[in-house]
A and B are shown apart, each in its own frame.
Chain A
Amino acid sequence: MRSPVISPAWKERVASVAIWVSASLIVGVLAWILIDIFMKGFSQLSISFLRDEVEDAGRGGGIASIIASTLAILTVTLSVAVPLSLATAIALTEYTRDLTRGGRFVRRSLDVLAAVPSIVFGLFGNAFFCIALGMGYSILAGGLTLACMALPIMIRTTEQAIRSVPDEYRFAAAALGLSRTTTMFRVVLPAATPGLAAGLVLGIGRALAETAALLFTSGYVTRMPESLSDSGRALSVHIYDMAMNVPGGNTRACATATVLVLLLLFINGAAVMLMRSVGRHVPPTRSGSV
């Protein structure tokens, strides 16, 4: 089995090295990014940074109004996306057989929606919510645009959570003479709670990370928002604006990025824990390790 050019043993060795190098490269770059952002950001971080209003285009003061706007946008997003995704997931799992045409159509549309670039959502949100529905640049418009974006991932995880509840629960409920609605709200959904929470958390993560869709829907204004029809600047938009449009804004941008990344790390951790407790019901996937 000796080839004249490269022997199999050498191929194995070269491949091993290449695989280990690429894997470490990915992890290394991740560490590089996080360490750089945190190092530059932590020096600026303090309680007053989180509590003060934006001053001097962000070079001074803190990010209190930015955090308030972000939370307001998130609230709008969730109050629309949560009921809608829950109801859609129930329709897709409990009341539609897998192969009905309607069910397949809904799934396909959601697959396309999941892949729509965020800037396209920004265009849509601007044309539909800001102009056609007359909301203008506002927290409401931004939140609704993000709700459209977060729908696919929230529906998908909610669907998985509901599916992971064993059918025996439903049979038992039916044997007790419960209506399907009661079964849903008293048996299936409580059993699926961790998975539902994971869907929620992933939706929050997606919404917090978003920038491009907010540029032309919720806008740039740094003032403390007074109502949902005010324009408000989200954390991610603040990072962008500080880095690109404010000379000397880089360190403040890093501090804001630190806040955002820590928030997302926390959310990511929560999602992993919740998904793991869902995993109990799902048959474990076999790993093909040699």
Chain B
Amino acid sequence: MTPSSPNTLFRFHIDRWLTLITRGAAIISAAVVLLVVAFLAMESWPALRDIGLRRFLTDESWHPLSGSFNLVPMITGTALTTTGALLIAVPLGISSAVFGQFYAPPWMAVWHRRLVELLAGIPSVVFGLWGLVVLVPLLAPLGGSGQSLLAATLVLSLMIVPTIALTSHSALSSVPHELIAGGAALGLQRWAIVWRIALPAGKAGIKTGLLLATCRALGETMAVLMLAGNVPRMPDSVVSPIRTLTANIALEMGYATSEHRAILFVSGLVLLSVVSLFVLVIDFVGGWKNA
């Protein structure tokens, strides 16, 4: 772009005003995230001060109305659903990107990508509804009500597949064509090219996608809330109901007061910190630009 220091292009009064106004807007936009952090921290402070982090891990159970605040089942729920969803979605998502780049005929690649984008655009509450109406009855014969760790994980994995597929797609498409052509000239076949050349070369971008997908899985609320059964206990099998940190906030914010409310803000703050950490790692590595 043209330089912004005063010069012959920059001698109009009105330009100074535009600069001031737009810079002001940029500062406001950047300040939103600080405001979010500040308010979460402020609202969490009573809980951090009076209860302390330790009791979130050592209390007997989650009975917030009688002063027992064990968050471990919810942390476990979030960890299990996120890990499970990643285990399913990572191979699927990367395969979808490889399909679009290396296997599909061009017209099919275009349509495949478009459909994956469509999947990315479906609201989480619709995923939740579909899970509730279709998937839960199918899973019910396995035991329990069907609203379970399994149901939540399966639908969550569907929701993060597009993130992985689309970022891997752009990572793979930015691999220099010379590398691919070189591999082909050496007589490597399709899969050998994908496995030995394309995927290693696109590794940084794919990793970025995985981190973004993890962020999305950690923060997802509605689908998990509708499918996980929401019992705040440690699960003993894949068909037991669980509750995640996000679902816990959504379920209890409506009636929580004082300490209880502050604890929900603490769990929000924890989610926010983990997600910000991931994003800063991505920024630091520099892979974000391709996303």
Contact = CB atoms under 8 A, between A and B. Distances in A.
Interface string A107-133: 011111111111111111011100010
B117 interface: yes
A246 interface: no
Nearest to B133: A250
Interface size class of A (residues with CB under 8 A): 35 or more
A289 B106 contact: yes
A72 B240 CA distance: 41
A108 B33 CA distance: 10
A127 B39 contact: yes
Interface in B121-172: 121-130, 132-134, 158, 161, 165, 170, 172
Contact of B133 (A40, A91, A110, A113): A40
Interface stretch (B14-22, B53-61, B69-77, B231-239): B14-22
A184 to B, nearest CB: 7
Interface string B199-225: 000000000000010010011111001
A32 to B, nearest CB: 8
Query: Would you call the interface of chain B mostly helix, strand, loop, or mixed?
Result: helix
A115 B215 contact: yes
A275 B45 CA distance: 45
B283 A106 contact: no
Given A84-B28, A91-B22, A212 B1 contact: no
B257 interface: no
A120 B36 contact: yes
Contacts of B133: 36, 40, 243, 250, 253-254
A264 interface: yes
A180 B95 contact: no
Contacts of B124: 209, 211-212
A26 B122 contact: no
Contacts of B123: 208-211, 236, 260-261, 264
Interface in A214-266: 215-216, 236-237, 239-240, 243-244, 250, 253-254, 257, 260-261, 264-265
Contacts of A216: 253-254
Q: Label chain A's interface by main secondary structure.
A: helix
A222 to B, nearest CB: 16
B257 to A, nearest CB: 12
**Most chain A CB inside 10 Å of its own CB: which residue of B36, B127, B194, B195:** B36
A73 interface: no
Interface string A261-284: 100110010001000000000000
Contacts of A261: 122-123, 126
A268 B114 CA distance: 10
B25 A91 contact: yes
Contacts of A22: 91-92, 95-96, 99
Contacts of A29: 158
For A32, A113, A286, A288, which residue has the most chain B Cβ atoms within 10 angstroms? A288
**Chain A CB within 10 A, most for which of B33, B103, B172, B180:** B33
Given A12-B190, A170-B2, A289 B101 contact: yes
Contacts of A244: 132, 225-226
Interface in A19-66: 19-20, 22-23, 25-27, 29-30, 32-33, 36-37, 40
Interface of A: 8-9, 11-12, 15-16, 18-20, 22-23, 25-27, 29-30, 32-33, 36-37, 40, 83-85, 87-88, 90-97, 102, 105-106, 108-124, 126-128, 132, 148, 151, 155, 167, 170-171, 174, 179-182, 184, 205, 208-212, 215-216, 236-237, 239-240, 243-244, 250, 253-254, 257, 260-261, 264-265, 268, 272, 285-290
In the A-B complex, the 5 residue pairs with the smallest Cβ-Cβ separation, listed nearest first, are: A117-B219, A87-B25, A209-B123, A179-B12, A22-B95
11 contacts: A8-B192, A33-B126, A122-B253, A123-B264, A123-B265, A124-B36, A167-B1, A212-B250, A215-B253, A239-B129, A285-B170
Given A113-B36, A124-B39, 5 more contacts: A19-B98, A95-B19, A108-B283, A123-B43, A239-B129
